A and B are shown apart, each in its own frame.
Chain A
Amino acid sequence: MLVERYQYIIGATVSRFITRGFFDASEKNEIIQAINLQLLEGKMDKIRDNFNGSVYLSTYFSKVVYNSCLEMVRSRSRKPTMVSDELLEFKKGNDLEIEKSMLIADEFMRLEAILKGFRRRNAKLLFCLKLYARKLITSDDLNELSSAEGMSMNVKDFPNTFSNDYDNLNDKEVYGLIVPFINKMENKNADADSLRKWLNMQIDKIIDLLNGEPPTSSYQRNTLRILLDFYFNQKKS
């Protein structure tokens, strides 16, 4: 039976809701049972009627289970665990308990979904976000940017500053150094302030999406910077 085969999806979805603080860990089995019951009492019939094979059944099924969890959350009106900069800062240098590590892993996935969704100028955005998080820029980054943007660039034009630690530079100084390179690449004549405004707009959009609707997180620019640092580290490893 499908319900049997996809028990791991139900388990993983409920665990995620527990991680995010919507359910208590002690309720896990009870919630899984309730979802199974809902599926058997009618939701499987609806899946059978509505699923038309145009998406993966696993994703479709996950969405149905996710909706069941949301319905339960709404009926309980329990507040989620907010991801704070304290938590992220603490994580930077320490091992966290499993639940908190899972919460941060979940944040990675949410951030990844947002970044993948930026179809237009995704490569330029990722490149600028790396600068924003003060990550070292490698020749791989430059090659990736070049091939994604479909533009030839001379690696020699790239300022050496960003291949070494540049934590000491403020945003204004970073944009000032990078804008001639980006201008050359895009054949434009923008100033550092335009780049700053563009990136801040993208950053605010990311923060807005991460915070959710209704809000489930309380990201600010500084918190995002820390998350981006984790994200790029994880991607690299």
Chain B
Amino acid sequence: MKHFDHNGHLNTEGLALYVDALKLDKTDKLPDHIVEHIDNCKQCHVQAIEMYASVSAIDYSNLGDHPVLDHGQNKPKPTSRNWLWLFAILLAVTVLWVVNQNKGEESPSANNNEHDGNTEAVQPKEEMPRDSIITSPPIDIDLKDEEPLQEETAPDNQPENNRTTKAPELIAMDFTPFDELENQVGEVFRSDDIEIISPPLETRFAFGKIVNLVWEGGSDDTITIKIFDNKNNLVLLRNSAVSPYRIGELKHGLYYWKLETEDDLIHVGKFFVDPIK
């Protein structure tokens, strides 16, 4: 799991998440596995306590929304309405499955591409349908791939050339534009009452800086913000967002952001977060 080191203790990210939750009084938003571990591991609990005291000089009120604690790690309690949605989704999945099965029977060769050595470029994954995002519970935010985290505190006895430092060309890959979104950038889809103030297109933010999304108008609309990385992965979803909307700390890379109302796509913007210097 991404919050644990190879010894089964909380890693830097896991401990930092626990400390963030303490600072923000949001321990109820913590993933269960972190809470359980802290309850049962004195070593990690003591470290978290020490960390909490260590960060007492930091003013957390200026750090913007928390990437995890404010964005959907919490599991909403089931309500009758949720159950209806769940039922509807299950029904839809079942129907799709049946349709798919029938298709497969009609044309057995339709799904054979992945097995026949075809080396066609993989198509970028499609954005989720609007409705499914907006009506679903908030998604988990995870800006990172699944590779295990290296613990900074691990004894630094690796040979220099074995270190996990990201090569410049790998960093550059995080800035490669994504064509489909690139084509929408800057277009104003509905200009009647919402005006984008900030950030200007292609603004570069220093690593660790708060990204402020500012717009005017639209007070009668329910605004949704979506942020995608340069591989079209949805990395942040905020329903009922209000301006200015502050985003905590993003990993380096190229990002696209969309401002939407329930009915319309309003704006697609683009900004960069520079690598750590």
Listed in ascending order, the chain A residues whose CB lies under 8 Å from chain B are: 1-2, 5, 8-9, 12-13, 16, 42-60, 62-64, 66-67, 70-71, 106, 109-110, 112-114, 116-117, 119, 208-210, 212-213
Contact = CB atoms under 8 A, between A and B. Distances in A.
A85 B25 CA distance: 30
B112 interface: no
B43 to A, nearest CB: 6
B276 A47 contact: yes
Interface of B: 12-13, 15-17, 19-20, 22-23, 25, 27-28, 35, 38, 42-43, 45-46, 48-58, 60, 63, 66-68, 141-144, 149-150, 152-153, 156, 163-166, 207-208, 235, 248-252, 275-277
B49 A54 contact: no
Contacts of A58: 55, 58, 63, 249
B48, B53, B153, B251 — most chain A CB neighbours (10 Å): B53
Contact of B143 (A13, A42, A53, A71): A53
Nearest to A111: B49
A54 B17 contact: yes
B52 A53 contact: no
B13 to A, nearest CB: 6
Given A5-B208, A49-B165, A54 B54 contact: no
A112 B275 CA distance: 35
Top 4 closest pairs, chain A to chain B, by CB = A52-B144, A113-B52, A109-B53, A12-B57
A66 B276 contact: no
B150 A59 contact: no
Nearest to B62: A58
A55 B53 contact: no
Nearest to B43: A213
A117 B104 CA distance: 53
A57 B164 CA distance: 19
A31 B275 CA distance: 27
28 contacts: A2-B276, A5-B208, A12-B58, A42-B156, A45-B166, A46-B165, A50-B12, A50-B150, A52-B142, A53-B144, A54-B68, A54-B142, A55-B20, A56-B249, A57-B208, A57-B248, A59-B16, A59-B20, A63-B12, A66-B50, A70-B153, A110-B49, A113-B48, A113-B53, A116-B25, A117-B27, A119-B28, A213-B42
Contacts, number: 163
Given A44-B276, A71-B153, A110-B49, A62 B165 contact: no
B231 to A, nearest CB: 14
Contacts of B275: 48
Nearest to A46: B152
Given A2-B207, A52-B149, 14 more contacts: A12-B57, A48-B165, A49-B165, A53-B144, A53-B250, A54-B17, A55-B67, A57-B248, A59-B19, A59-B55, A62-B51, A67-B12, A67-B152, A209-B46
A43 B141 contact: no
Contacts of A50: 12-13, 149-150, 152, 164
Residue of A13, A57, A71, A110 most packed against chain B (CB within 10 A):
A57
A213 B45 CA distance: 10
Given A2-B208, A48-B166, A66-B50, A54 B13 contact: yes
Contacts of A1: 277
Nearest to A48: B276
Contacts of B20: 55-56, 59
A109 B144 CA distance: 32
Contact of A56 (B27, B50, B60, B149): B60
A212 B43 CA distance: 8
Given A5-B208, A8-B57, A46 B150 contact: yes
B143 A52 contact: yes
Contacts of A5: 208
A51 B15 contact: no
